[in-house]
Amino acid sequence: MLEVENLRKSFGDKLVVDSIDFSVQAGEIFVLLGKSGCGKTTTLKMINRLIPSSGGTIRIQGEVVDSLDPVKLRRKIGYVIQENGLFPHYTIAQNIAIVPKLLDFSKEEIEHGTQEMLQMMELDPIAYLDKYPRQLSGGQQQRIAIARALVARPPLLLMDEPFSALDPLTRHNVRIKFRQLVRDLGTTVVMVTHDLSEALELGDRICLMDQGRIAQLGTPRELIFDPASEAVKTFFSGQTLESELKVLKLEDLKEHLPPWEKAQAGSITVSIQDSLAQILEDIEARFQRTINVMDHSGQMLGSLVFGDIFGAYQQLKNLQA
């Protein structure tokens, strides 16, 4: 879907992106992670040519972006930024309709698309279409910004710290809705963030950048359990346990778990694909010892107790050490 080869960017003498390569699969959520100044945002903006590259090649669906008209290119790529960038003088409906209008969609198509996007973002079209951005909460504004970026169904969506300005609870909710939406639409996402937990929660793969280079590229689990260098380890230090619980799914502990007990009525039910962090949150919220587990298709597998999970986690850690 997206191939980046030997991409470079220098501002004057300063090399901010230093010959990086990666490729993103269709439908994947690909996270560019790193501290500020590591070159992640510059990399992102070179993809839609908001920043011209100093060298290297970027291909989207096989086409070299430097050979395309930048304006036409951007109309085919969704773009969401941290400060949401909604036009304050446009209503919600007008904001969402910007790209479809640029692409000369018919009036009916635009209306239909706008309503559909709002419903997908769980916002009532009737209540919101004629409002102005300032009348909405931060979380609602960011959901509108996502709807605006996706309404023309771009195959690729670029996001720059999209959830950083939101408060933690809103952020979590918006992230969940967002992930569901892009999965449903099959959109490929490249997202920049400095927030580790956001990267772990959303990313199918994470590209950790440091000083313009790729420090490590892999799944969240690979980065946590198999850091490629001291620099990578340092990046996670202090958040190790939290990170591990986030990247490990119950499924990953399967061989260390005792046999399933019979499912118990009235106990909470989790999916075997849930992360340990998610399961801990659920237990914490409900004060229950016994947990029913089902597989990804919803088939009940049986129950276990919290101690079983903890024991299995210890065994996995011992194995890795």
Partner 1 sequence: MQEGNSLWAFMLENRGDILTKTTEHLWLTGISVLLAIVVGVLIGLILTRRQSLASPVIGIANMIQTIPSIALLGFMIPLVGIGAIPAIIALFLYALLPIIRNTYTGILDVDPATKEAGRGLGMTDWQLLSKVELPLALPVIFAGIRTATVINVGVATLCSLIAAGGLGEFIFTGIALNNQQLILTGAIPAAFLAIFLDLFLGLVQNNITKWWKGILWALGLVLVLGIGWQVFQSMQARTFLAGLDREFFERRDGWPGLVETYDLQMDAVQMDAGLMYLALKNDKVDVIGGYATDGRIAAYNLRVLEDDQRFFPPYFVAPLVRKETLQEYPQLGAAIDLLAGKVNDEEMRRLNYLVDQEKQTPEQVARDYLESIGLEILRAREEGKADIVIGGKNFTEQFILAEMYAQVIESYTDLKVQAKTGLGGTSICFDALQNGDIDLYPEYTGTAFLVLLSPPEDLVNSIIKDRQAVYRYVQEQVGEQFGLQLMGSLEANNAYAIMMREEVAAQLGIRTITDLATYLRER
**134 touches partner 1 by CB under 8 A:** no
Task: Quote the least distance from Cβ 69 to partner 1, whole Å.
Answer: 10
Query: What is the token pair recorded at 289?
Result: 């010892």
How far apart CA 114 and CA 93 sit, in angstroms, is 7
The 5-44 site mask, x for binding partner 1 (CB under 8 A), equals ----------------------------------------
How far apart CA 24 and CA 19 sit, in angstroms, is 17
Of residues 173 through 202, those in contact with partner 1 by CB under 8 A are none
**316 touches partner 1 by CB under 8 A:** no
**Which amino acid, one-letter code, is at 205?**
R
**82 touches partner 1 by CB under 8 A:** yes
Scanning 3-11, 87-95, 246-254, 285-293 for contacts with partner 1 by CB under 8 A, the matching segment is: 87-95
DSSP per position, 27-86: T-EEEEE--TTSSHHHHHHHHTTSS--SEEEEEETTEEGGGS-HHHHHHTEEEEETT---
Q: Choose among 37, 34, 38, 42: nearest CA to 232.
A: 34
Q: Could you identify the residue written with the tokens 């036009």? A: 87
Task: Quote the least distance from Cβ 84 to partner 1, whole Å.
Answer: 7
**48 touches partner 1 by CB under 8 A:** yes
The maximal CA–CA distance of the chain, rounded, in angstroms, is 66
Of residues 97 through 126, those in contact with partner 1 by CB under 8 A are 98-99, 102
Q: Choose among 26, 19, 18, 8: nearest CA to 62.
A: 26
Among 7, 24, 46, 79, binds partner 1 (CB under 8 A): 79
**84 touches partner 1 by CB under 8 A:** yes
**81 touches partner 1 by CB under 8 A:** yes
**218 touches partner 1 by CB under 8 A:** no
Task: Quote the least distance from Cβ 134 to partner 1, whole Å.
Answer: 12
How far apart CA 141 and CA 137 sit, in angstroms, is 6
**135 touches partner 1 by CB under 8 A:** no
Please say whether the beta carbons of 286 and 311 come within 8 A: no
Residue (97 or 217) nearer to partner 1, CB: 97
Scanning 21-29, 141-149, 169-177, 252-260 for contacts with partner 1 by CB under 8 A, the matching segment is: 141-149
Among 9, 40, 75, 246, binds partner 1 (CB under 8 A): 75
DSSP per position, 116-142: HHHHHTT--HHHHTTS-GGGS-HHHHH
Please report how many Cα atoms fall inside a 13 Å half-sphere around the Cα of residue 211, on the Cβ side.
2
Scanning 81-89, 134-142, 221-229, 289-297 for contacts with partner 1 by CB under 8 A, the matching segment is: 81-89
Residue (145 or 224) nearer to partner 1, CB: 145
**268 touches partner 1 by CB under 8 A:** no
**52 touches partner 1 by CB under 8 A:** no
Residue (83 or 261) nearer to partner 1, CB: 83
Give the Cα-Cα-Cα angle 272, 278, 281 (nearest 5 degrees): 130
307-312 LR contacts (CB < 8 Å, sep 24+): 308/257, 308/258, 309/250, 309/253, 309/257, 309/276, 309/279, 311/256, 312/253, 312/256, 312/257
Task: Quote the least distance from Cβ 244 to partner 1, whole Å.
Answer: 35
What is the contact surface with partner 1 in residues (CB under 8 A)? 48, 50, 71-76, 79, 81-89, 98-99, 102, 145, 148-149, 158
